[in-house]
């Protein structure tokens, strides 16, 4: 908006990586009118999901009196803006190469040897309140309680890398998570089996694909996320002949694309436990079919597609 006020007339685009709230929640933000008016200074506003575009369309129609010229163009404040979903992807070839590199394969073989009598469930996140990590741990407790056959055979590796440890809310979250993990290990653990392996530190990126490949179930269950690329990385790292199963929050932007994952409500620990059990019991043929469809979509909409689609749309935007 400041550039426009200074007379800048070239095309300008904006991409929002995080979710856009529904209209009523967006309207609760102080000075929300000024915020959305400023977005109309752009020629193109990109979102992660179609749900975000729908929230934008409803808000500008109800709160700003915008005219919808078509599903993607809106006129208000004497400006026309194009709003469209551009779901961000990963560099599939780069991550696939990383998966087969020596560091990742070494990690894969070490983990498989260490846990050769276990089925691994893997969660990798920043320690952030939006990631739903305590909810995931509670769901794992529900799994052990409701499906006791998993006791002694299922292990959850929970990697929560440090995030803003100097903020009290994040310190409280860490304390809560450590308490939940300790409680599960104390209540269900055996001398030769710990249900939860919790790690609060960074894991080198070059080793992450090996961990993903070794896990029978990938747990990506944020309370809300713009996209979540870990979900896509987990799929790409899998062995197509014997792939693991992605359990994905329906509130992650990636859920719009990755429909063959098992979509869950992270606020429902019993429902999550049922889905995790389904993942652990899923036949090979179904796992292969789901993985094949997921991979095709992830390859089609990779990071290079995202860049090109956004820049092409910006180039086509009206002056």
Contact predicate 13/314, CB 8 Å:
yes
Dihedral through CA 86, CA 89, CA 91, CA 93, nearest 10? -110
Q: Which two tokens stand for residue 316?
A: 């086509």
225 catalytic? Reply is yes
Q: Catalytic one among 225, 274, 301, 302?
A: 225
Compute the radius of gyration of the chain from its Cα atoms: 22
Considering only CA atoms, which of 85, 31, 84, 26 is closest in space to residue 60? 26
Q: Catalytic one among 17, 100, 109, 304?
A: 17
pLDDT in the model for residue 109:
97
The b/e string for 6-17 (b: 16+ C-beta within 10 A; e otherwise) is: eeeeeeebeeee
Q: Which two tokens stand for residue 256?
A: 């719009």
Residue 319 has pLDDT above 60, yes or no: no
What is the per-residue pLDDT across 288-315, written as a single tens digit (0 to 9) for each? 999 999 999 999 999 999 999 999 999 9
pTM of the entire structure?
A: 0.94
49 — pLDDT class (breaks 50, 70, 90) = very high
Q: Which two tokens stand for residue 189?
A: 């653990």
The alpha carbon of 237 is separated from its chain's Cα centroid by a whole number of angstroms, namely 16
């Amino acid at each position: 908006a400041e550039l426009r006020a200074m007379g800048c007339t070239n095309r300008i685009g904006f991409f929002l990586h995080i979710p856009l709230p529904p209209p009523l929640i967006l309207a609760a933000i102080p000075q929300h009118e000024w915020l959305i008016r400023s977005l109309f200074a752009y020629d193109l506003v990109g979102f992660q999901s179609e749900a975000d575009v729908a929230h934008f369309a409803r808000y500008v129609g109800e709160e700003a009196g915008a005219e919808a010229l078509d599903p993607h163009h809106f006129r208000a404040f004497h400006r026309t803006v194009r709003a469209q979903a551009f779901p961000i992807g990963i560099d599939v070839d780069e991550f696939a190469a990383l998966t087969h590199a020596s560091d990742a394969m070494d990690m894969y073989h070490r983990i498989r040897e260490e846990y050769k009598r276990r089925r691994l469930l893997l969660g990798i996140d920043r320690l952030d309140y939006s990631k739903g990590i305590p909810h995931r741990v509670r769901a794992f407790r529900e799994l052990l309680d409701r499906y006791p056959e998993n006791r002694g055979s299922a292990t959850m590796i929970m990697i929560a890398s440090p995030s803003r440890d100097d903020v009290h809310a994040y310190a409280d979250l860490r304390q809560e998570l450590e308490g939940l993990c300790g409680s599960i290990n104390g209540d269900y653990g055996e001398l030769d089996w710990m249900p939860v392996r919790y790690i609060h530190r960074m894991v080198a990126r070059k080793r992450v694909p090996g961990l993903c490949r070794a896990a029978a179930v990938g747990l990506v269950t944020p309370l809300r996320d713009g996209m979540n690329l870990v979900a896509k990385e987990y799929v790409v790292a899998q062995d197509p002949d014997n792939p693991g199963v992605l359990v994905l929050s329906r509130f992650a932007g990636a859920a719009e694309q990755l429909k063959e994952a098992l979509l869950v409500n992270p606020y429902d620990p019993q429902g999550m436990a049922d889905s995790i059990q389904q993942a652990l019991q899923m036949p090979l043929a179904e796992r292969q079919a789901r993985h094949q469809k997921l991979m095709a979509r992830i390859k089609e909409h990779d990071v290079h597609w995202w860049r090109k689609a956004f820049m092409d749309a910006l180039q086509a935007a009206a002056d």
